[in-house]
Amino acid sequence: MLMASKTSLYFPRPSFRTSCHTNDLLQIEVEMFEKWHRKMDPGDLSLRQLPEAQSAPAELSQTRGRHKSRLYSASDSVVSLTVEQKCELAERELADVKDEIQRMKEDTEQTLKNLEAVIEEADVWHTDVKQAIIDFEKDIFGTTSGKKGHVLDTEKLLRYMGEKNRQRDLLREKFHLKNYLLKGFKKKLQQQLRQKQQIGDTLREVHMQQLQVRSAQYHEKIEEKNEDLLQLKLTAAKTVQVLNSCKKKLQDAMATSTSLKKDISQRKVLLGKLEREAALVEEQRAEAESVNRQLQKQLLDYDVPSVMSYVQKNMSVTDLEKSIKTWQRKVAVAEMSLQRYRRAWNQVKMSGNQC
């Protein structure tokens, strides 16, 4: 146990995280070496015979009886690369990566230019289509639109289509003529080029210098035009932004105007209702004033009776109520006697009918 503990102290076992990190580094080195080996020619294999490979049997025979960790370290030293070889591989890989990045950058710039050209062509085509649609609607539906919608005039449509076909034919003939002239100009230029080539290379340098000067001038003009175009695009973008903001303000103002018109109409209706109610209240006030005047007049003409007359009238009212109750009892008795007489009369009538 003591020996085992001493051995563990002298030969500490590597941790799992360190082993994983070491394996990752070795995997990266192996992948880089394989990639470099595939790219390299068979005649340029400078790393084909590693110096460690020659001493591998001796090292393996010496470490056969040692500890397993020492055996692993010896095998790692056999398959590993030297620092110079690693630097060479890293430099070549870095150069390849830089070349690939430059190539991808050039391809991306070319693709971007092509897409910008396609977008510009699409914008021009879209503008032409819009203008054609506007011209078509103006020529065909401009004078035939009514309240029920557009009325298609076939004769005008046929005339319009015939006119467009004639314009297209004229444009095609114009392009044919221009193509023919350009072909003649091309032949003339080719003939002049052959003549210049026959004259010699003496004038070629002068022409090249002149062409370079002209090219530089044209490049300067193109840059100026590009700057102007960029400035115009910026101005157009700003104008579009201002136009959009004005449109938004106009929409907000229209919405505010609509809400104000609706509010004004509601206020007008409420005002009419209030005016009618005010007129009605005025009439009621006039009636109340007339009633008030009458009541005030009656109040002025009102004469309060004496106390004795009030007491006498109350006594007479009481006597009348008593007499009313008495007569009500008499009426009830009379109604009962009447009912009894009616029943007796009905019995007499029934007995007479039976006889």
If DSSP states are collapsed to H, E and C, what string results for 254-269? Answer: HHHHHHHHHHHHHHHH
By mean pLDDT, which of 67-76, 173-182, 202-211 is the weakest?
A: 67-76
Say what the pTM is: 0.30
What is the DSSP secondary structure assignment for residue 282, as one 8-state letter? H
The confidence score (pLDDT) of residue 54 equals 40
Would you kindly state where each structural domain of the chain is located, as residue ranges? Answer: 95-139
The residue with greater pLDDT, 110 or 204, is 110
Mean pLDDT of 232-258: 89
As a whole-number percent, the residues of the chain with pLDDT over 90 amount to 21
The confidence score (pLDDT) of residue 201 equals 61
Mean pLDDT of 225-235: 86
On average, the pLDDT of the chain sits at 77
The confidence score (pLDDT) of residue 65 equals 43
pLDDT surpasses 90 at 264:
yes
Q: Which of 72-76, 185-189, 205-209, 300-304 has the highest mean pLDDT?
A: 185-189
Can you tell me the distance from the alpha carbon of 228 to that of 234, in angstroms, rounded to the nearest whole number? 10
Is residue 3 very low, low, confident or very high in pLDDT (cuts 50, 70, 90)?
Answer: very low
pLDDT, tens digit (0-9, with 9 covering 90-100), for 29-62: 777 777 777 766 544 444 444 444 344 344 444 4
Strand-pairing partners, residue 244, are none
pLDDT surpasses 90 at 21:
no
Mean pLDDT of 139-159: 63
Is the torsion defined by CA of 253, 259, 265, 271 positive or negative?
A: negative
Dihedral angle computed from the Cα positions of residues 125, 126, 131 and 134, in that order, rounded to the nearest 10 degrees = 140
pLDDT surpasses 50 at 332:
yes
Alpha helices (H) along the chain: 2-10, 16-39, 51-54, 56-62, 68-79, 83-140, 154-199, 202-301, 307-354
The confidence score (pLDDT) of residue 112 equals 92
Mean pLDDT of 113-130: 89
pLDDT surpasses 70 at 281:
yes
The confidence score (pLDDT) of residue 6 equals 38
Is the torsion defined by CA of 203, 206, 212, 213 positive or negative?
A: negative
pLDDT, tens digit (0-9, with 9 covering 90-100), for 190-212: 888 887 777 766 666 677 778 88
The confidence score (pLDDT) of residue 354 equals 75
- Say how many residues make up the chain: 355
Residue 88 near residue 36, CB atoms below 8 Å: no
